[in-house]
Amino acid sequence: MHPSEVPSETEREARDRAALHACVALPVALLAITSAYATTRYVIFGPWTVAHIPLYVLNKSFAWSAIVLLALSLGLGPAARLWPARLGNHLWRRRYWGLVGFALATLHIVVSLAILNYGYYRQMFRQAFEFTALAEWAMLAGALAWFSLLAPLAASLPGAQSAMSARYWRTLQRVGLLALVLGGLHLAYGVPGWFAPSLWYGGLPPITLWSAGAVVLALGLRILAWLLGEEQGE
């Protein structure tokens, strides 16, 4: 790099400020909205108490926010190609939304394992110490989704793009699509409740249903962009 092309301290600060804003603004807003929804659904209208907010209720928020951020990260590219004037300038945010989404997904796994028992997730168990078949497949899909996210995570590390061929860098990024599909399959354990509105606490749809909607929307944008010949890589 020519000395004149080296970013100044002011330019580096502006870049870092923008990156921090991307990592904080939308994720914090999502966490606030999803936490309020989860608290309303499970505590105000549901059978859970305030004492369950720190782990059980907030874990719903972590999971929902994580999958929305991952869906945004993977759906923004095709959306920007479909509507470049409105969204083209925001493509750089994908990397940060994906990283925060991965962090929240990891937090969700840790908290879920801490409280994974019959008392908290009765619908996932056939009896006290045995998963239902649907829950087993859902848990497998969730584990595979997390491992699949390691590929785009590696591609997002500083210097990774310049050190790799464009073809293989894009391949690592596109593994994120597999992770999103697997994340959608992980939500399958909640499917029985999607078709029982009479059982929805306060008439509010399950969080797994909202999360599945985010997955479908992101994948739908990818398919639409591909059909219109606008899907040209990451």
Secondary structure of the chain in the HEC alphabet? CCHHHCCCHHHHHHHHHHHHHHHHHHHHHHHHHHHHHHHHHHHHCCCCCHHHHHHHHHHHHHHHHHHHHHHHHHHHHHHHHHCHHHHHHHCCHHHHHHHHHHHHHHHHHHHHHHHCCCCCCHHHEEECCEECHHHHHHHHHHHHHHHHCHHHHHHCCCCHHHHCCHHHHHHHHHHHHHHHHHHHHHHHHHHHHHCCHHHCHHHCCCHHHHHHHHHHHHHHHHHHHHHCCCCCCC
Does residue 128 sit within a domain? yes
- The overall longest dimension of the chain from CA atoms, in Å, is 68
Percent share of the chain, pLDDT over 70: 95
Number of domains in the chain: 1
Does any domain span residue 223?
Answer: yes
Domain membership of residue 126 (yes or no) is yes
Q: Would you say residue 159 has pLDDT above 90?
A: no
**Residue 232 included in any domain:** no
On whether residue 233 sits in a domain, the answer given is no
pLDDT in tens, 76-131: 989 988 898 888 888 888 889 999 999 999 999 999 999 999 989 988 998 888 99
Residue 234 domain flag: no
Q: Which residues are CB-contacts of 110 (< 8 A; sequence separation ≥ 6)?
A: none
Q: Mind listing the pLDDT tens digit for each residue in 161-220?
A: 788 888 888 888 889 999 999 999 999 989 999 999 999 999 999 999 999 999 999 999
Q: Which range marks the domain in which residue 13 is found? A: 3-227
**Does residue 74 lie in a domain region?**
yes
Residue 214 is assigned to a structural domain of this protein? yes
Confidence of residue 23 (pLDDT cuts 50, 70, 90): confident
- The most confident of the ranges 1-5, 23-27, 36-40, 224-228 is 36-40
